[in-house]
Amino acid sequence: MLIAGAGGHAIELLDILISEEMTADLAFYDDLTGITSLHGFPVLKNAEMAKAYLSKTPDFILGTGNPQVRMMFYQKFTAWGGTHRSIKGRGIAFSNFSNSNEADIFNLCFIGANTHIGRGTLINTGAQIHHDVRVGEFSEINPGAVLLGASQVGDNCSIGANATILPKVKIGNQVIVGAGSVVTQDVPDGVKVIGVPGRII
């Protein structure tokens, strides 16, 4: 398994993989820093090394939280012959009626009934996704965020830690919601929202 990224989020992901005994042939990919090893696992430094690895062990996991970087890694690694795998942490309250097979869901999350969470999206530790919520692709729902019934979040969004999206609120694509914000109204594409109640800045 190749983890796309080698920063703080990747280390939290490593904890989950260790607890699930999924570290056989594990490596990281990081072409930005000088590190060559992370907690005893090798760090691949360039495209040639990653392609060679994926030709033998094609599975990869997105090891970064940033929505744009998650999408970039997904596109790059699949073009190199990789197969995206999602991860599910421990202690998740998970509805049998959720469609979230291609999302990463970290420890201690709540995933309600009739939810849809898109490909490459990250639901980080302790977040809550309540009934009938829709989350697009490659979005990041940060720790402790709460998406209430029938709310919607678009593609490539970042919902800050402990933010709350009220029921039936629709958030567009490429939106950033600040930590602790409470979003009470629909939000268009490409804006930043902060505060209680949330306002566009």
pLDDT in tens, 146-176: 999 999 999 999 999 999 999 999 999 999 9
pLDDT in tens, 127-141: 999 999 999 999 999
Residues sharing a CB contact under 8 Å with residue 11, sequence separation 6 or more, in sequence order: 38, 39
Rg (CA), the chain: 17
Separation between Cα atoms, residue 191 and residue 196, nearest integer Å: 16
- What pLDDT does 34 receive? 85
Q: Where are the alpha helices (DSSP H) in the chain?
A: 8-19, 47-56, 67-79
pLDDT in tens, 19-67: 999 999 999 999 988 899 999 999 999 999 999 999 999 999 999 999 9
Residues sharing a CB contact under 8 Å with residue 52, sequence separation 6 or more, in sequence order: none
